[in-house]
Structure 1
């Protein structure tokens, strides 16, 4: 591992705890790097903070990196890690900082602020997952200069993020504890049970004029991204472990087949398998390869009666049609 990787701890009142978490993190990264031959050459810093939101803002400002105004924070899932990118002058990637919430280590931090390394497996797996994100970006042949407009943010980017989460869980599945996989699939079940109703409620409020179109769309877009992310996240495990869903998760299987989202999610599944095949053959070189994930995302919106069109004039936003 490159010896210029810095692990920094922020906001911990217990110095001994901070030192232990920092050293443990560095040791795990070094071990994973060596065992799985990961390309993490541009990962320059890991920032572990008790104030995750502020840490994201701090690094984003330092990198002049535009991040979404919110990270995942819903009843179904809460973000605890994010990889931020600094671009070089020619818009090529210069370096990364991995920002981790203190909650990333909840499995090993005891109430008395000591560390229980006997329960380290989930932390190892989560770090493995994050390092796959770094590896994926480092070995990618995709054009990093691609610009994203409002239309792409709605339909193209969810597929990009879903693919990245799918790959990270697929490639890190060897270190995944059984409980982590079970928890993820249970979270997908909760997402598919609860989030469609939330979307329908938002659209209803718009139709009765108690919610503005822009506010409705903003909230719906967040939930569509949550659905695609959780579906891909879970299916990284499902495909890597070849899980018999009928046997082990019959309720989720029934939900996936009976939901009005069944067809677009099935198409997303096929798209992820296609991308993994291209990736394994070093043939994932064009953003056009993500047309199928974009189509699946468009179908998710359509399932709720929402149609999004790019304005004919460049850089003038999008049209949002609601049935």
Structure 2
């Protein structure tokens, strides 16, 4: 195992820290380097593959650091900032000159600074926080591992990835769902019961919130005709429900428990929700993808096809019917339904159908 760790961690050349004193920055960098080595081999049957991770960035201005990494590529990497979720870490995959990539994890230094503190001098509350952030670091390293394996298995597809039609929406969402499922399933070994419980609670809250919220936004769209605005809102709220489900499914499969065993309340909410069939279908497809990962992944995007179908049906159920056009464009049909239309709108639709 020591040899495996040396091979996978050897690529790390620098850890950049901003926003801390020189002493604190050095302490954080040295401690993170050591933790990366420990986390690489913590799951002995599956040591983490970190080959393309040459740099790690801990930034005082996390959002600006993300933008700096992608430069003028045109990619949008703004961190999540919602009442129910705030992003503090993200793994960026950068295409290098030629045919390879660099993988760069970027972190909010204020969140991760605790990793550089003296553990033995911490109060218990601070130690609990340390372990929570350690798990977050582990989660991001699992993303690095997954990205490495995907690049190895699908070099041509990764280099030449172009989505068209409905795939421009559902393809990236399927990728994110897989990515979060995999990272949580593999990193669950460092997740506390509290973290897993909070993730399940987050999923339950998203179940209760998302459909009514999007129905309200569709009603507003019928009045203002702002389709771009509606799609942006759905990507914020609707896509988050899918990601929350993937987070929860990853932990549950990792610890070998069902949703009902972890939270009877969340299970009841799911069983009563329209999302129930999508939860089960996501679970089936994600488990199948995990069982094939990475040896069973070929150099195409076909591995995502079944999961993408689930995403498209989810959009349809939420009120947005995505239709691919012959020229590669996308048409969004928004049928009038009782839950996303006022009585007056339904009367109008019946008379103009």
Please indicate, yes or no, whether the TM-score normalized by the shorter chain is above 0.5: yes
The residue that corresponds to 2:127 in the other structure is 118
Q: What is the alpha-carbon distance in structure 2 between the residues aligned to residue 24 and residue 199 of structure 1? A: 44
* Cα distance change of structure 1 residues 59 and 318 upon mapping to structure 2, 3 Å threshold: same
What CA deviation, in whole Å up to 9, does each residue of 1:35-92 have, x standing for no partner?
442211110111111211111011111xx544325332222211111111221334x3
| CA apart distance, 1:320 | 0.8
The residue that corresponds to 1:318 in the other structure is 330
Q: What is the alpha-carbon distance in structure 2 between the residues aligned to residue 96 and residue 246 of structure 1? A: 37
Query: In the comparison of the two structures, how many residue pairs are matched?
Result: 312
Q: Give the SS at the match of 2:332.
A: strand
Q: Give the SS at the match of 1:308.
A: strand
* Cα distance change of structure 1 residues 149 and 101 upon mapping to structure 2, 3 Å threshold: farther
* Cα distance change of structure 1 residues 66 and 170 upon mapping to structure 2, 3 Å threshold: farther
The residue that corresponds to 2:68 in the other structure is 58
* Cα distance change of structure 1 residues 225 and 68 upon mapping to structure 2, 3 Å threshold: farther
Q: What is the alpha-carbon distance in structure 2 between the residues aligned to residue 5 and residue 108 of structure 1? A: 19
CA contact (8 A) 1:81 1:100 kept: yes
CA contact (8 A) 1:109 1:115 kept: no
| CA apart distance, 1:249 | 0.3
Structure 1 residue runs of 5 or longer lacking an equivalent are: none
1:244-259 equivalent positions in 2, closer than 5 A: 244-259=258-273
The residue that corresponds to 2:296 in the other structure is 283
Instruction: Give me the TM-score of the superposition, normalised by structure 2.
Output: 0.82
* Cα distance change of structure 1 residues 173 and 69 upon mapping to structure 2, 3 Å threshold: closer
Specify which of 201, 204, 218 is matched with residue 189 of structure 1.
204
CA contact (8 A) 1:155 1:294 kept: yes
Q: What is the alpha-carbon distance in structure 1 between the residues aligned to residue 12 and residue 334 of structure 2? A: 52
| CA apart distance, 1:33 | 2.0
Q: CA RMSD in A?
A: 2.3
1:138 aligns with 2:148: yes
| CA apart distance, 1:230 | 1.1
What CA deviation, in whole Å up to 9, does each residue of 1:108-152 have, x standing for no partner?
689xxx977734322221111111111112122022122124632
The residue that corresponds to 2:256 in the other structure is 242
Specify which of 1, 6, 30 is matched with residue 37 of structure 2.
30
* Cα distance change of structure 1 residues 150 and 98 upon mapping to structure 2, 3 Å threshold: farther
Specify which of 153, 166, 177 is matched with residue 168 of structure 2.
153
CA contact (8 A) 1:224 1:300 kept: no
1:164 aligns with 2:179: yes
* Cα distance change of structure 1 residues 60 and 77 upon mapping to structure 2, 3 Å threshold: same
The residue that corresponds to 2:81 in the other structure is 73
| CA apart distance, 1:270 | 1.3
Moved more, 167-176 or 20-29: 20-29
| CA apart distance, 1:105 | 2.2
Structure 2 residue runs of 5 or longer lacking an equivalent are: 1-8, 336-353
1:303 aligns with 2:317: yes
Q: Give the SS at the match of 1:172.
A: helix
* Cα distance change of structure 1 residues 66 and 129 upon mapping to structure 2, 3 Å threshold: farther
Q: Give the SS at the match of 1:220.
A: helix
